[in-house]
Chains A and B, each alone.
Chain A
Amino acid sequence: MSALEPPPGRASVPWTCPFCPLLCDTFGVDTGAWALTGSECGRARAALARFNAGTLSAQAQIDGVVCDRDAAIAAAARMLAASRQPLFGGLGTDVAGARALYPLACRTGAICDPAGGAALSHGSRALQDRGAFTTTLGEVHMRADLIVCIGAPPSERYPEFPRRCGAGAGGAAQVVVLKPAGTVVAEAVEPGIEVVTMDGDLFDIAATLAAQVAGRAAGDSADPLGVLAARLHAARYAVLVFETGRLPAHGALIVEAIDRIVATLNQRTRAAALPLGGDDGASTVDAVFTWMSGLPLRTRAAPVGLEHEPVRFDAQRLLADQAVDALLWIASFGTEPAPPMVDLPRVVLGHPGFAAAAQGRATVFIPVSTPGIGSAGHLFRTDGSVLMPLRAVRDDGLPTVADVLKRLTQALAEQAA
């Protein structure tokens, strides 16, 4: 025997759920009823409900009028050609989509920022200031004996999180949720999970815990954060979990404090951070642009060169300031925010469910296949260290984002010629 080619005709290849960055691959989908099998994950169920074929329009539109795909691509190319500063937003796609997007971004000088751009930048700003020490889901499952979740129980937005980490009832690790007073969290979120509520906001809590862990806090070591600090020091392998999408403005400061806590602990014992985020392809597109160009998102190929402006090139801010004159919105998973209703020429490559949100004037809508449902693909997991393969579970007859982008780039070149 040699290579590991899958035996022909084998039906039971596992499915990777593409709808959150945990990218679980231990449960399945019944494509008849669009039901999840082997999991109760509410997030995956809600996402799958968008694929009920009866409600979908799978036709391209220009200004809300159905047209053929070629006409839509030609119209989209004209819009981008006429733009002096396009914005590529949403960015809900996979590696192949990102690979096809980069040449188009270079050609048009577009600024690229994903729907979760602000969340993504909390992590990258802290990384670029101080660095980080992180871990992965499998590592947490095997090794962690104390998991501290900063801000909220991850299971609210990432329902499979406890299972993935071997946490909760019967799990090996103690789980503590550290939350600011005044935030609404069910006190007994999961059996076996402890909730510690503190006065102050997340900035105060993270800073105080960092001081306690470093042995520099003025307060009482018997207060809850002092006790938690002692538990972190006593743990064999402590993990600090945070959700970038839930952090407030300037959340990088909280991430930085968490990174500092981890660094202090690692002087004597072992600890690591686990960020949860990069949903809907955001961290995947960021990774691909980083490897192709050398710079992360919020970069453009401007006449002066490859400009990286992590603060200035924020999509929401650019739209609010009317600093861009065309929008390409990519949302192939169906779980992204709808394309923003802005008074700009818009090209929307989206899940068919976004057709209604792409009806306006000067809008081209091209329905695309969802990676992991209608087409194969690849996404990075939340820990950034595992690139998971996605498998198609049905043939939806739709082009992939990469297909459309390649044709769009070609159409631009032909129109220019």
Chain B
Amino acid sequence: MTVLRLRGGRIIDPTNAVDGTLRDLYIRDGRLVEAPLGEAAIEEIDVSGCIVMAGGIDLHTHIGGGKVNLARLLVPEMQRTGPNPIALPDNPLELASCGGCLPGTLATGYRYVEMGYTAAFEPAMMACNARHTHMEMGDTPILDHGAYVMLGNDELFLQMLSRGEDPQRMRDYVGWTINATKAMGVKVVNPGGISAFKFNQRKLDVNENHVHWQVTPRQIVQTLAQALRELGVPHPLHIHGSNLGVAGNIASTLDTIAALEGLPAHLTHVQFHAYGTDGPKKFSSAALQLAEAVNAHANVSIDVGQIMFGQTVTASGDTMRQHAQSGLANPRKWIGADIECEAGCGVVPFRYRDQNFINALQWAIGLEIFLLVNDPWRVVLTTDHPNGGPFTSYPHLIRLLMDRSFRAEQLAKLHPDVAANAALNSITRELSLYEIAIMTRAAPARLLGLKDRGHLGAGAAADIAVYREDPNREAMFATPAFVFKDGELVACAGRIVAVPVGGTHFVAPDYDRGIEAMLRKHHAANGLVNVDHLAIGRDELCGCCNGGRLLPASCFEAQS
């Protein structure tokens, strides 16, 4: 049996508290193993002078499903290189696929992997369209993937909550939905707000009633967070909070944290939820308030949703907020949809401009959050691809976080009020490679409950990124020398060298199947998809995902 040795690399593996130790790694059958006792044939790759980390894991990136594909349909004019069509790949292993802020699924896989990432999670899967999401992820080569199913705006959930349904029945409904859609977790988007917009409500604060169901976002968040804990789902409730993008929304974000009453939750793209109303423009950074709240609440983790200057397309389930912001669409066109009594979507093209006060401040707020939260294990590096910017900007973002003088240079180029007054000016912290490794692999693996990913200990899957040391961290993280997926060399110096099919992560919590009778009745009475057609079996999932491996994550012992 052949063993592969990566010789002489500097290992950064925060899960196992390894910070820069020179050590060889051994790979057999797709796994990391202890140094063998000499009986096995050994192939060797010299990685001296390199930093070795586990493969990157993006736990919030819109890589598949309805709204991303609508976004691609909306702006074909962006799928070009200047005046020319996007060139065909010069690599026979790749099929033609556009890159940019809205890459095709094929390019999504290639570009993530060339950057040292080996897993990505789609955060906004609709139950009625779960197959579509799994199909797109299945057509995203090499990367492992998974998705969070959206709940909390579906009429059935709101109706149950409104009539004071037994929490165990709520839990069973959540459990059924996760199983049916083969999800890795649950996300709530603008809790209750997407539904409320269908009833013509235009704003919904955390402690305000949904105009029809007379329940509050607070109740929705609490119920879902409690249900996930009881089901033992490792990834806590993934929350896209109330009032996204609204000046002063820090109050909503703090109210949401309070609503959790200590239950675990992950607040996503918090940059868009950390705005105050100070200053002449009534728009200010509330990064410090947010960071203090996160520092004070160990039950809360975050990802940032950093914005990057340039053209992108925002794609969100938050119909209420996307409609409100559709006037800012650039180019001036947008897509909205009310979807099947459970969700919605809003796709708004947007250009972040460095000379625009609001955009410049958003950029500073994101970086402030990264640098003001003390515990890197509760912060994940994201741009909320493509909403804040494309994932291909991660190396640039890493340099901003690691290199204070580079950060200052960039800040000085922005809108003068921001350049002069941003709190970011006074923040001297520079993240270390160890902290970057936490935020880009170790923490997301832990937050998702992936025990054999995100680290380099014996027994872990051999998903590995090998970066050549370079003081320019952007260059270093853009083009790793070698990337391994399950022990197979998949990229060399920015070129794809193998295209295996990625696996699908999901959880299968136990629940009481008695809930199905109610679901059946609800779906039949309201002309919705037959319940038997909502549920995806394992064989079908395998087909959707192009035959990739199924990777069920285990649940923890359920707590009541």
Contacts and interface: CB of A to CB of B under 8 A. Distances in A.
A222 interface: no
B311 to A, nearest CB: 15
A291 B85 contact: no
B136 A165 contact: no
Given A25-B529, A142-B155, A292 B508 contact: no
B139 A266 contact: no
Interface stretch (B126-134, B242-250, B405-413, B448-456): B126-134
Nearest to A305: B85
B511 interface: yes
Interface stretch (B142-150, B263-271, B287-295, B530-538): B530-538
A296 B532 contact: no
Interface stretch (A69-77, A83-91, A124-132, A196-204): A124-132
A164 B340 CA distance: 12
Interface string B61-105: 000101011101111110101001111100000011111101111
Contacts of B97: 292-294, 306
Given A291-B69, A294-B103, A138 B529 contact: yes
Contacts of B540: 376, 389
A39 interface: no
A305 B508 contact: no
Contact of B179 (A4, A165, A388): A4
A18 B84 CA distance: 39
Given A2-B179, A4-B535, A294-B79, A270 B510 contact: no
Interface residues of B, number: 81
B131 A387 contact: yes
B129 A131 contact: no
Contacts of B370: none
B86 A131 contact: no
Interface string B485-517: 000000000000000000000001111110000
Given A2-B510, A290-B69, A138 B323 contact: no
Interface string A272-303: 10000000000000011011111110000111
Interface stretch (A111-119, A312-320, A347-355, A378-386): A378-386
B334 interface: yes
Contacts of A417: none
Contact of A305 (B86, B180, B528): B86
Main secondary structure of the interface of B (DSSP, over half): mixed
Contacts of B72: 290-291, 294-296
Given A2-B179, A25-B530, A302-B85, A292 B104 contact: yes
Interface stretch (A99-107, A175-183, A338-346): A99-107
A13 interface: yes
Contacts of B535: 4
A95 interface: yes
B471 interface: no
Query: Most B CB atoms within 10 A — which of A3, A124, A165?
Result: A3
B336 interface: yes
A305 to B, nearest CB: 3
B512 A378 contact: no
B341 interface: yes
Interface residues of A, number: 72
Contact of B98 (A5, A6, A294): A294
Contact of B338 (A13, A124, A135): A135
A50 to B, nearest CB: 24
A213 B363 CA distance: 40
A3 B511 CA distance: 9
Contacts of A293: 95-98, 104, 106
A236 interface: yes
Contact of B337 (A16, A141, A142, A385): A385
Contacts, number: 218
A99 B73 contact: no
Given A4-B535, A291-B72, A133 B511 contact: no
B335 interface: yes
Contacts of B536: 4
Contacts of B421: none
Interface in B96-124: 96-100, 102-107
B262 to A, nearest CB: 28
Contacts of A378: 131, 135, 544
Given A106-B96, A389-B131, A14 B338 contact: no
Main secondary structure of the interface of A (DSSP, over half): mixed
Contacts of B538: 3, 5
A380 B85 CA distance: 28
Contacts of A156: none
A404 B105 CA distance: 24
Query: Most A CB atoms within 10 A — which of B100, B126, B532?
Result: B532
B96 A301 contact: yes
B341 A139 contact: yes
Contacts of A207: none
A412 B107 CA distance: 24
Nearest to A12: B532
Interface string B302-338: 0000000000000000000001000001000111111
B179 A3 contact: yes
Given A293-B104, A295-B72, A305-B86, A16 B533 contact: yes
A159 interface: no
A237 interface: yes
A11 interface: no
A54 B280 CA distance: 80
A383 B66 CA distance: 11
A95 B179 contact: no
A306 B76 CA distance: 11
B508 A2 contact: yes
Contacts of B179: 2-4
Contacts of B356: none
Contacts of B526: 138, 141-142
Contacts of B345: 385
A31 interface: no
Contacts of B102: 294
Given A136-B337, A291-B72, A269 B85 contact: no
A235 B499 CA distance: 53
B527 interface: yes
A375 to B, nearest CB: 11
Given A1-B510, A137-B527, A304-B85, A128 B76 contact: yes
Nearest to A385: B339
Given A128-B76, A131-B74, A306 B96 contact: yes
B533 A388 contact: yes
- Top 10 A-B residue pairs of the complex, sorted by shortest distance between their CB atoms: A294-B98, A305-B85, A141-B527, A294-B104, A131-B333, A4-B535, A387-B132, A133-B336, A138-B340, A138-B528
13 contacts: A4-B535, A26-B530, A131-B329, A132-B335, A138-B340, A139-B198, A141-B528, A270-B200, A291-B68, A302-B85, A304-B84, A306-B88, A306-B96
